[in-house]
Chain A
Amino acid sequence: MNLTQLSLPEQAIFVLAALVLLVSFILLSQTRLTAAIHAFAWQGALVAVVAALVGWVGADAHLYLSAGLTLALKALLIPWMLHRLVRRLDMDAEREALVHPALVALTGTLLVVFAYWLVLPLERLAVTDTRNLLAISLATVLMGFWMLVVRAQAVAQVLGFMSIENGLFLGAVAATRGMPLVVELGVAFDVLVAMILFGVFFFQIRESIDSLDTDRLDRLAETEEEA
């Protein structure tokens, strides 16, 4: 497929999807919580715009609705909730030290290559023009998983989890022009409830181990042992 044969909005979809992937990388290496939450909000907004553009190109009115839902939920409500949580937990200025930042980012690019390779045979089956986005969305999902693996900070892990959801939504939009509205509403409420539960968990974890570093959850003793 040649990019020049596509109309300008379709090209814009590709550019925005590539930016979604870029935000994944930023999320992966951003150690400041507030900035990471901002990045997540941008990712949600980008995904929403992609959905709206796909809806516009294909004249699918229901995609506007899901785009609006995504914008409201992932770009505004959840980041706002996370901000409030972070402020209440007094972690505005907290930074987490990544062990090998360069290695983490490079593994991320390997994941992108892997996603591309995995999707390659699938793309031939898909019928829509946006099938190339599948690789991007799968890569975003994998990057979310990778974030869950490398980050020890509970809030950052939640961000990774939410960006997995972003990737899934992008994939659904790209491959099948979105999911049925019932499913989408269900997922949206799921995410919202998950967010509230995470909030409760943050306080629980903090109360029991006095930190949100999940690496410390595997210790049996409540107090720090003499090393």
Chain B
Amino acid sequence: MQLALVVAGAPLLAGWVKSVKARLQNRRGPGPLQPYRDLRKLFMKQVLVADSASIVFRAAPYVVFTSTLLATAAVPLAVRDLPTAPVADIMVVVGLLALGRFFLALAGMDVGTAFGGMGASREMLISALAEPATLMAIFTLTMSAHSTNLSTVVGFQLTQGLVLHPSYLFALMGLVLVAVAETGRIPVDNPATHLELTMVHEAMILEYSGRHLALMEWAAWLKLTLYGVLIANVFFPWGIGETTDPGAFGIGLAVIVAKLALLGLALAVSETVLAKMRLFRVPQYLNLAFLFALLGMLSFLILEVAA
């Protein structure tokens, strides 16, 4: 039920970000429902596969979509007490996302075009640098909650009430930077362009068409939603439902939608204000994210458990 909602809602978030961004840039832009129309169009189109493509190329969209889907299933959205709660380990989420990325990069290289290989190598560069920062930020959270289980972490945050943790502040900043890099938004990657010098994610899915492309795009939107939900629920858990009864679920859903809309707004503003970085500056950017996460960990040790 929750999963279906996320899957259905993911294109809406992407569309919302896009249309807010267009407004901010004085364009009229497509409405927030445009991604649904794109999906329908792509699903109805015929699939064309390059001659040099192997089975990996055909399988990759399904693997990428499924792994992202499973990762999303593990994250508490509107209520905390999910059937998937016992397996909702944060390491599992990171692992599943890594699996999806691995297949994405494989598919990019499979056809043997220059763009695909270039995109895959860039993606790997970014993810190799982003992952330590993600893990460090997550360790900071899990150390204070004494668990790597997502719903336990969220529950811990809820019962604690308003406590200002210096370490959470840093972990949040680190995780936001990583999320921007991982979901391929400006300033790391530009989701709206096909300019060969700059694209990362677009370069890898350049050879896809029809329903394969639709699945790839959908997986990317899901990933964006996943990071949004993760940030919203772990750092600002207020309003999330405790049980699965319809009333709590409804409130939780309304709250999370509001939170995601706010996050999308922030993302659109930052994308409008910032310019895309050169690829060679990305390691510096992710280094900053790593520094934030590391500082979060250190300030946790120094300020929150010491003596």
Chain A contacts to B: CB under 8 angstroms: 1, 3-4, 8, 11-12, 14-15, 17-19, 21-22, 25, 101-102, 105, 109, 112-113, 116, 120, 123-124, 131-133, 135-136
Contact = CB atoms under 8 A, between A and B. Distances in A.
A25 B296 CA distance: 13
Contact of A132 (B283, B294, B302): B302
A14 B164 contact: yes
Contacts of B283: 102
Given A8-B164, A19-B169, A132-B302, 17 more contacts: A1-B306, A8-B162, A11-B165, A14-B299, A15-B165, A17-B166, A18-B166, A18-B167, A21-B295, A25-B295, A105-B291, A116-B302, A123-B307, A124-B307, A132-B306, A136-B299, A136-B302
Contact of B170 (A3, A22, A101, A133): A22
Q: Chain A interface secondary structure, helix, strand, loop or mixed?
A: helix
Contacts of A22: 170, 295
A3 B291 contact: no
B169 A18 contact: yes
B52 to A, nearest CB: 39
A113 B291 CA distance: 13
Nearest to B291: A105
Interface string B167-205: 101100000000000000000000000000000000000
B298 A109 contact: yes
A156 to B, nearest CB: 19
B306 A135 contact: yes
Contacts of B142: none
A14 B303 contact: yes
Contacts of B163: 3-4, 11
B22 interface: no
A15 B304 contact: no
A187 B164 CA distance: 32
Q: Which 7 A-B pairs have the closest CB atoms?
A: A18-B166, A11-B164, A18-B299, A15-B166, A135-B302, A123-B307, A14-B303
18 contacts: A1-B306, A3-B304, A4-B160, A11-B165, A14-B304, A15-B166, A19-B166, A21-B299, A105-B291, A109-B294, A112-B295, A112-B302, A123-B307, A132-B302, A132-B303, A132-B306, A132-B307, A136-B299
Contacts of A102: 283-284, 287
A1 B307 contact: yes
A113 B298 contact: yes
B301 interface: yes
A40 B303 CA distance: 23
B169 A15 contact: yes
Interface in B240-281: none
Contacts of A131: 307
Contacts of A120: 306
A94 to B, nearest CB: 20
Nearest to B164: A11
Contacts of B307: 1, 123-124, 131-132
